[in-house]
Structure 1
């Protein structure tokens, strides 16, 4: 049974479309469909359901995908180990990251890494904390930036403690104060990330026993900043996310202070991949030098 069949299946699941998978793989849609049909015939059950909206895994398909992804990860690890033994530096590193890291850290790290290892491909998936932990658990990424402590069965390395700060409209009554009392979130219109995002502000407020007066929710960090600029409410953001920005908002320290710990998680099936380990080392060194 060819490994390429499973690579095709994984690409179809990733993109949710036979057509998009064919474009990504550089083949025809009929070839992709034939590959899936061949796998289903060999397994003796349907892997995908097809509709006008695209394709999705059947219940049986969902049961086999963790093993399929694990096999592909080990196959990639084998190729990288062989390349390392032969003195080559080839491979792929898949990284899951949230916005602040994707914007402020990864471009610099990738630039340095690509200078030394130009033949290693880097694939970046951007999401929230929940997304990254899910990708790590599924084996969809090799490395993931997480908010520690994280509920993961893999190696996690603490990188940096990042302060949480209040952002207020420029004409807010606390805009001229040096600090913002966290308790004010109980009465002020509060703008937050969706609950599935495992937002830092929600953790800080919960730890202080404060129930915020939530008026708006979104999954986009920068949408929150724009809404605060327009006077729709206040919010709490990590300092790294706000670094280098010139938004028309007042940024204040919190009372009591709160922070998050940014960590790097190395997926279980990727831990021995030479390219993954090299990239992890570059991240650790880069953050240590820049923070």
Structure 2
């Protein structure tokens, strides 16, 4: 059977209205074209669906069952087309963002909240990880874009987003807490607690120590910043973290002070695949992010819009 959606919609309109004239007016078609569509449907099904006389249209038993099925198909088509329209307008679908844990936990929530107030039918997928895995998610196509550190490449386009200043992280009773600022050389003289080598934080702290020609061999190293925070709180040493990371250090008593000589910022960019169009929902998310930046929405202390 090759019944068309047009035929099913025509029959459903006639059956509901119990009138060819009323159904034709409702569908804005001629009565003759409507009659042909219903007749074609009856011929294809090999069953009489309507009993007609000069005034009335009544459904046969086959007509009642055909109406039930026709309405299911027509309603499903209408619903599917509305869903497709929402997707094409960026009003539905999924936005997949790859990002660093500190961005996922501290920066993104307010953006997602603002975005979902406007587009509640869009689902967010957050893929948090370290720098290389985050960039790999974008290159593989698993993520629409990333918010991360790293340098532009031929495969990825970077758009500056925020700058995240490094601060000294100190035990509560450490002598350096009495200073308004701390230098990298000051930290190099203390037992230094480092994050793992595959972290962007480690790469930037190593570069800062090299810039002042200071040797800061880690007294301990941990893969998780919360673990480093716990070690600092226990008085086992000092550390350096971007300001955006501070909420992830845990609940232990630590003190932080601005780091100087030099001032070091971690630059966080939006990273996208070069010459690859974004799904419209992802474009709408980035527009929301740009609106928040244009409004200079509040950021945590030590974090500034780029």
TM bracket, shorter-chain basis? 0.5 to 0.7
Residue 150 of structure 1: CA displacement?
4.3
Q: State the SS of the aligned residue for 2:177.
A: coil
Q: Which runs of 5+ in 2 are unaligned?
A: 1-80, 300-306
Structure 1 residue matching 2:269: 3-state secondary structure:
strand
1:190 matched to 2:192? The reply is yes
Distance change (3 Å), C-alpha of 1:118 and 1:232: same
Verify: 1:211 aligned to 2:215, yes or no: yes
Residues 272 and 255 of structure 1, relative CA distance in 2, 3 Å threshold: closer
CA gap 1:203/1:282 in 2 versus in 1, 3 angstroms: farther
Task: Quote the residue 2:233 is aligned against.
Answer: 229
Query: For the structure 1 residues 275 and 85, does the alpha-carbon distance in structure 2 shift closer, same or farther, using more than 3 Å as the test?
Result: closer
Q: Identify the residue that residue 258 of structure 1 maps to in structure 2.
A: 264
Q: 1:206 to 1:105 in 2, by over 3 A?
A: same
**Quick check: 1:279 aligned with 2:285?**
yes
Secondary structure of the residue aligned to 1:114 is: helix
Aligned in 2, Cα 1:212/1:125: closer, same or farther, shift over 3 Å? same
Alpha-carbon deviation of 1:229?
A: 0.4
Number of aligned residue pairs: give it.
212
Query: C-alpha offsets along residues 169-211 of structure 1, whole Å, 9 cap, x if unaligned?
Result: 1121211111212113333111111111132322322333333
- Aligned partner of 1:220 in structure 2 is 224
Residues 73-102 of structure 1 deviation map (CA, whole Å, 9 limit, x = unaligned): xxxxxx9x9646865722211111112211
In structure 1, the residue matched to 2:157 is: 155
RMSD over equivalenced CA pairs, Å: 2.7
Shift in CA distance, 150/172, structure 1 to aligned 2, threshold 3 Å: farther
The answer as to whether partners of 1:188 and 1:213 remain within 8 angstroms in 2 is: no
Give me the whole-angstrom Cα distance separating, in 2, the residues matched to 1:87 and 1:276.
11
Quick check: 2:90–2:281 contact (8 Å CA) kept in 1? no
Distance 1:87 1:150 in 2: 30
Look up the SS of the partner of 1:289 in the other structure: coil
Decide whether aligned partners of structure 1 residues 157 and 259 sit closer, same or farther in structure 2, where only a CA change above 3 A counts.
Answer: same
Of 87, 93, 96 in structure 1, the residue corresponding to residue 95 of structure 2 is 93
- 2:298 aligned residue: 290
Once the two structures are superposed, what CA deviation does each residue of 1:235-290 show, in whole Å capped at 9, x if it has no partner?
Answer: 10111222698651121111212111111112347533111111111123224422
**How many Å apart are 1:145 and its aligned residue?**
1.0
Contact 1:185/1:211 (<8 A) preserved: no
1:157 counterpart SS class: strand
Correspondence 1:1-291 to 2 at 5 A: 83=85, 87=89, 89-151=91-153, 153-199=155-201, 200-242=204-246, 247-256=252-261, 257-268=263-274, 271-287=277-293, 288-291=296-299
Cα drift, residue 157 of structure 1: 1.2
Q: Which runs of 5+ in 1 are unaligned?
A: 1-78
| Contact persistence 2:154–2:274 (CA under 8 A) | no
Give the 3-state SS of the residue equivalent to 1:195 in structure 2: coil
Answer yes or no: is the 8 Å Cα contact 2:188–2:209 preserved in 1.
Answer: no
Residue of structure 1 equivalent to 2:45: none
Contact 1:133–1:152, Cα closer than 8 Å, also in 2: no
